[in-house]
Amino acid sequence: MQAIVGVDVSKKKFDVALLEGEKVRRKVFTYDAQGPQALLAWLVKQGLAVEGCWVCMEATGSYYERLAEELDAAGVQVSVVNPLQVKRYGQSLLLRHKTDRADAQLIAWFCRDCKPHRWHAPAQEVRELQSLVARLESLVGMRTQELNRRHEAREPARASVERMLEVLEEEIARVRKAIDEHIDRHPGLRQQAALLKSIPGVGDGLSAHFMAWLSLERLASAKQAAAFVGVIPRHHESGSSVHGRAQLSPLGHRRLRRLLFMPAMSAMRCNEALRQFAERLRTAGKRPIVIVVAVMRKLVHLMFGVLKSGQPFDLTRALAKG
């Protein structure tokens, strides 16, 4: 039997729970450059072959990435799961305690019972792209905060805000240029970017984020891609009396979902296939937000399609499909 290892990762440490039947062995490691190797050495000390271990962790921020990458490179079977899945699983068990130690064991139980998909580290150029687009998101977020402060600030504090905005604008431009240059240096990324931007409504920002965070190797269909992003409706119906409005599922990649909103609004104007699609929904009496989300989902389908086929966007074909 595979050894199941649950890992709860935080900024400075990670807690480990190793399942051995009904018995649980625990260990806490410092999260530094030696942390992943220390975990591997501990597993070997327990009499385990690292290739026979199944390590599961949550996708919490960027903390898990280095650990997952090094374990994957060592031949360990790694699964990275949505924290909400583990939370719901814990609620189904009526668990009351919330500690790092308890979370590691819960993740191990989740892995044993739910058997999540294996995770593989993306290619080096994709990891570098992820780092750049994540930095760009942080800078844009800081700029938004400073813009909000500018409305409230009085002199002389306002002058400080203006200087900070100037610095942020320069750095945002610098990182955007770095992203463009990085994509241009790698033929695979350059080809993918050209395919994505052949779709009216998809620009540099969305295409870069899509390439960074959507792993086509793990997805078999456009429907799975939409589920990964989180632009599928969650229906709430029961019997004859409960007919709640459909809502977006809380599962999915929040970064991509958030970034899709404005391109979807743009695509409803400049992409004839999506304009007609939105108009049909409007005629059917759908609410504006429902229409936008449906266009977001359709946009994901189109982006997935051009990357999977290797062919640029074809308006005639898109209109024929509806």
Quick check: 108 and 5 in contact, CB under 8 A?
Answer: yes
- Per-residue pLDDT at 249: 56
CATH for 3-114 is: 3.30.420.40
Quick check: 41 and 31 in contact, CB under 8 A?
Answer: no
- Per-residue pLDDT at 128: 95
pLDDT tens profile 112-124 = 999 998 988 889 9
- For residues 224 and 142, which has the higher predicted lDDT (pLDDT)? 142
**pTM for the predicted model, two decimal places:** 0.80
pLDDT tens profile 12-36 = 999 999 998 778 999 999 999 899 9
Say whether 37 sits in a helix, a strand or coil.
Answer: helix
- For residues 322 and 28, which has the higher predicted lDDT (pLDDT)? 28
As a whole number of Å, the end-to-end CA separation of the chain is: 49
Token pair for residue 187? 């033929």
Whether the per-residue pLDDT at 273 is higher than 80: the answer is yes
283-312: buried (b, 16+ CB within 10 Å) or exposed (e) per residue? eeeeeeebbbbbbbbbbbbbbbbbbeeeee
How is the chain split into domains, by residue range? 3-114, 124-185, 211-321
> DSSP readout, 4-32?
EEEEEE-SSEEEEEEEETTEEEEEEEE-S
pLDDT tens profile 142-186 = 999 999 998 887 888 889 999 999 999 999 999 999 999 999 999
- Per-residue pLDDT at 238: 42
